[in-house]
Amino acid sequence: MSERIITYAEAVREAIGQAMEADPSVFMLGEDIGVYGGAFGVSGDLIHRFGEDRVRDTPISELGIVGAAVGAALTGMKPIVEIQFSDFTAQAMDQIVNQAAKIHFMLGGELAVPMVLRAPLGSGTGAAAQHSQSLEAWFAHVPGLKVVMPSSPYEAKGLLLAALDDPNPVIVLEHKLLYKTSGHVPEEAYRSEIGKSKVLREGNDLTVVATGVMVSRTLEAASQLSTEGIELTVIDPRSLTPLDMDPINASVAQTGRLMLVQEAPKHVGFMAEIAACVSEGPAIYSLTEPVKRLAGLDVPIPYAPQLEKSVVPQLDDIVSAAREVMRGV
């Protein structure tokens, strides 16, 4: 049987549609998600299938939208909020950080906020500094939020359906460069487990952990490097919170080398947490080379294409960095 190939955006839309069909409490709210179809075309025709009550266009009002989702989630609904660009979550941070993340714990456990917040992150579209950030570490640093970063069409659907099953607030950070990429996505409603890292390729020389768009870039680099005789293990954590370190530690114990790839600025980035976790356990004794972090420069994302590309790791950067680790540079 041939594999069905659809885009990342279609996979997200399919997950939303299947969740809405299965559960009348699921609804979506966000800016321009109705007849416009979403800024990145994710919601598409959902308004025609489910109506404007359940595919709810909102005023430009991120704090209000997320607050409304929190209130709806507290009282029996399962909202999916779409924030047009993840940068705009800054407008809604009180409701995400002080309300959604804390209500279950702070109020004693009887209330919960089963809310999904989807937002595209990342650079590569020439939209400059206020539309291109990778802010995953902000959310991962707040107890009470689960954070997932789907790196492929398959994970876009599987992680979103898992997020919708979760009784807690889940931040789903989709990469905007991935929306138009295609891959195998089963038609049935399946779940990717939140809190399980996924080993995407196994090799004996170097363990590489990557997130978001860096996962596919790293897999491409791994194919190139394989022709040179360098074999990579590539691991996608998929969920930043909760974080599953087991396959990473196990792989490091085997390869003795660790490279970490993220688009976000290096300073206090999520990959620092992975490095710290490895260094806290026995896997550190297996390391034969220092840990290599390949990350975005610590600058705002610039506009000009040559500037923008130079700020975040590209395919060649990953290949070169891996060679350096192997050479012990």
Partner 1 sequence: MVFTHSAGREISIRRRNTLEAYGLGEESAFCTNVHLSASQFTLVHCHNWSTSAQSSTFVKVKMATITPLTAPNADSVSKDKEAATAALESLLAIRFFEEAVDGLFARGMMHGTMHLSIGQEAVATGVCAALRKSDFITSTHRGHSHCIAKGADLTRMMAELLAKQTGYCRGRGGSMHIADVETGNLGANGIVAGGIPIAAGAALSQKLQGKDSVVVSFFGDGATNEGAFHEALNLAAVWDLPVVFVCENNKYGMSFSTAKSMKVEKISDRAAAYGMPGVTVDGNDVDAVYAVAQEAVDRARSGGGPTLIECLTYRHKGHSKSDKNLYRTKEEIEFWKTKDPVGIFETKLVDQGVLTQAEVDQVTDKIRGEIRNAIQEASAAPDSDPAELLSSVFRQAN
Residue pair 207/252 in contact (Cβ under 8 Å)? The answer is yes
Residue found by looking up tokens 């959310």 in the block = 139
Residue pair 145/101 in contact (Cβ under 8 Å)? The answer is yes
Among 45, 94, 220, 316, contact with partner 1 (rule: CB under 8 A):
94
Output the smallest distance, CB 238 to partner 1, in A: 17
**Using rule CB under 8 A, residue 77 touches partner 1:** yes
Sheet containing 232-236: order of strands: 198-201, 232-236, 206-210, 258-265, 292-296
Q: In the complex with partner 1, which residue's Cβ is closer, 277 or 287?
A: 277
Which DSSP symbol is given to 186?
-
| Catalytic-residue membership of 62 | yes
Output the smallest distance, CB 91 to partner 1, in A: 8
Query: Residue 209 has which token pair?
Result: 């952990």
Which residues, 6+ apart, have CB-to-CB distance to 220 below 8 Å? 315
Output the smallest distance, CB 152 to partner 1, in A: 24
Among 37, 44, 144, 212, contact with partner 1 (rule: CB under 8 A):
144
| Catalytic-residue membership of 131 | yes
**Using rule CB under 8 A, residue 98 touches partner 1:** yes
Regarding beta strands 146-148 and 239-241, do their DSSP bridges make them parallel or antiparallel, or are they unpaired?
antiparallel
**Using rule CB under 8 A, residue 328 touches partner 1:** no
Tell me the C-alpha distance between 211 and 175, whole Å: 10
Which x/- pattern, by CB under 8 A, does the window 27-66 give for partner 1? x-------------------------xx---xx-x-xxxx
Tell me the C-alpha distance between 220 and 294, whole Å: 16
**Using rule CB under 8 A, residue 188 touches partner 1:** no
**Using rule CB under 8 A, residue 104 touches partner 1:** yes
Where in the sequence numbering do the catalytic residues fall? 62, 131
Binding site for partner 1 (CB under 8 A): 25, 27, 53-54, 58-59, 61, 63-77, 79, 94-95, 98-99, 103-112, 143-144, 146, 165-168
